A and B are shown apart, each in its own frame.
Chain A
């Protein structure tokens, strides 16, 4: 059960970036996917989640990114996505994805290793 984030890098303020969360070792469409970030020296912040196809692949977002970030999934490829638009310097962080179980008390687990996004002019 492995998740690997990719797509991070340096980007200018105002630009967009799409992160991928490539999974293996489990049946991807049985699970939800969540995205988190951690700014340098700071704590963990949940960004949003997408439910499994069984629950309509509905999405839920943190207020801090709603309307700017979009989560999606490609179940045929086992990949989750985080589309980030209108990036700001304060979006600089390591971004993580995780596997989640819909409507369960079991928390996010496992997590990917993270990908660094640096927003700077």
Chain B
């Protein structure tokens, strides 16, 4: 089974900061990787799919890159609504859906 790891687990940042989160897969997954963010008490919200495609109505300050086993999510200028937990996710028609453990972005 494919395992996803994320780093860092917690990130302290300020409004306006450029933030980068990394997701690594235990084996190559091509570009079948999505990023979600989740605020406390709310459902996850899709930001990016296929590693780099921005979901409709998601602000352009979010971007994704990578392929194979190494992926990154970048926020170019952190906004107040971005303080949340970010998850990477891979889905596979044979083995199902896997999430990374999450990266919590908190106020510095």
**How far apart are A61's CB and chain B's nearest CB, in angstroms?**
8
Interface size (A, Cβ < 8 Å)? 24
From A46, A111, A112, A113, contact of B96 by CB (8 A): A46
From B31, B42, B96, B99, contact of A44 by CB (8 A): B99
Residues of A within 8 A of B (CB): 34, 36, 43-46, 48-49, 60-62, 96, 100, 103, 105-114
25 A–B contacts, CB within 8 A, in A order = A36-B97, A43-B100, A43-B102, A44-B36, A44-B87, A44-B99, A46-B96, A46-B97, A46-B99, A49-B96, A96-B43, A103-B93, A105-B49, A106-B50, A107-B89, A107-B91, A108-B46, A108-B89, A108-B91, A109-B46, A109-B49, A109-B55, A111-B45, A113-B43, A114-B43
Residues of B within 8 A of A (CB): 31-32, 34, 36, 38, 42-46, 49-50, 55, 87, 89, 91, 93, 96-102
